[in-house]
Amino acid sequence: MKKRNLSKLTLLISRFFLIICGFLIGAYLIEGLVRLLNITLTTPVTSIIDEGMILLAEGIIGIITAVILCIFAPSIVNGLINFVKLIEKGLNRFSAKELVCAGLGLILGLIAAFFISTFFNSVEIKAKFILVIILFLDYMLLSLLGIRLGLLSADLIFPSSKKTSSESKIIIDTSAIIDGRIYDMAKTGFLYGNLYITSFTIDELKNLSGNTDPLKRERGRRGLDILTKLQKDKSLNLTIGTNDSAENADGDKNILSLAEKTQSSILTTDYNLEKIAQIKNIKTLNLNELSNAIKPVVLPGEKLNVKIVKEGKEQNQGLAYLPDGTMIVVENGGKFIGKETQVYITTAMQTSAGKLIFARIEENSENIN
pLDDT of the residue at 234: 76
User: Which segment of 55-59, 106-110, 185-189, 200-204 scores lowest on mean pLDDT?
Assistant: 55-59
The structure's pTM equals: 0.43
C-alpha–C-alpha distance, residues 138 and 149, integer Å? 16
- Greatest mean pLDDT among 19-23, 27-31, 207-211 lies in 207-211
Angle at which helix 73-91 crosses helix 2-36, to 10 degrees, equals 100
Per-residue confidence band for 336, with pLDDT thresholds at 50, 70 and 90: confident
| pLDDT surpassing 80 at residue 150 | yes
**What is the DSSP annotation of 204-234?**
HHHHHHT-SSHHHHHHHHHHHHHHHHHHH-T
Give residue 4's pLDDT band: very low, low, confident or very high (50, 70, 90).
very low
Q: Which of 23-27, 70-74, 266-270 has the lowest mean pLDDT?
A: 23-27
Helix (H) or strand (E) holding 286: strand 284-286
| pLDDT above 60: residue 167 | no
